[in-house]
Structure 1
Amino acid sequence: MEQLRSLNRTVNITEPILAEDSTFSTIALSLRAVLEQLDKNAKHHDYLVALLLVLLAESGFGISEQNTRLVYIPENWKSKETGVYELYLTLRNADHIRSKLIVITCGDKLVLNIISHIRNMKIYSMVVQTLKYVNPYTNNLCLRYMNLKEISHRFKDKLVMPLRTDILLVLNLMGPSLESLPIELCVKIANMLFVE
């Protein structure tokens, strides 16, 4: 219970915590930090993959070679020859199990694949129409994205949470506790419990 209280104290700020809670005037700090790492010549696909990195981080995943909880864009995240994005991921507290995000561009669409390196190397896939979520015609970071809740829920429900569940089940960490819930659910629970 004390963990929820301390979580709630850190949550009561005016900035949105989750990327999906960003508005036309305020963007989540994690999303802003990632967007500031993008090259000035970044394309709309780059912006969407950067958003996916933030959504992965919200669910406890990080880039394998990073040692911090900060979300960052690695130098070699996209092949110059093929335009394919390849990133190795690990789940916090399970960094010995690696997964791989492969994003293939196909016109305006991205084919998202997450491969788990557990059991029979399961693959979770979905196709995303980039321009439904990214506005390529603005330099204003707050106006860069559209339909954030939709892409957040779609990506997490179809790819991230099934992968996370597989990893936690293999490690026998899945159970009826707050520790097994994604951080965004813990934040929402904390907000509902301690409303003054």
Structure 2
Amino acid sequence: MTTREPERNNQIIDVARRLFARHGYRGTSLNMIAAEVGVSKSALYHHFPDKETLYRNLVASGMQVLFEYVRDRMPSAESGAAQRLYGFMRASIQYYEQSHDSWVSGSQLFWSAENEETRALVLKWRDAYEELLKAAIRDGIATGVFRPDTNVSLASKFLLSSLNQLSRWYRPDGEKTATEIMDSFVTMFLQGIEEPPKIS
């Protein structure tokens, strides 16, 4: 393999990620990717024999990078469960802002994966990423910071849903930054929005 081939591989993956984010998995063809990269379709086959193989490479790199990015930026356990929740959400949204195409294409492709081998690969890194959040919630329960009847699975899905839906409506020129929005979501999650009853 020449030194240029890894560079070409990365270029193909970057272009595919951008096109998948824009058109979805089904709406993106190898012809479109080859044209954007500036190579023939036969040259593209030299790197990736089919769209499914390209997809697996894209997902494996994108989901693993997301997991490692968030893991490396979360506060330590000594900082407390609440700060770890804030850290998880802040790091996730920073990754979203820095790698928008990777986030959007990864989210779309997760739900469109039809090949069992590919779906298993997606789930491996998705579960590792979600486990970072679940571990913080479990720590909060164990230390008495969070209510003992907190459903860890539902709590993590609630917070992850707020992250996944952000790309549908967030605008960078809006009133709040994405990080400020995530902080607000976590605060509402931790404190609730119901006014406590007034004692007469």
Instruction: Give the TM-score normalised by structure 2.
Output: 0.28
More helix by share: 2
More strand by share: 1
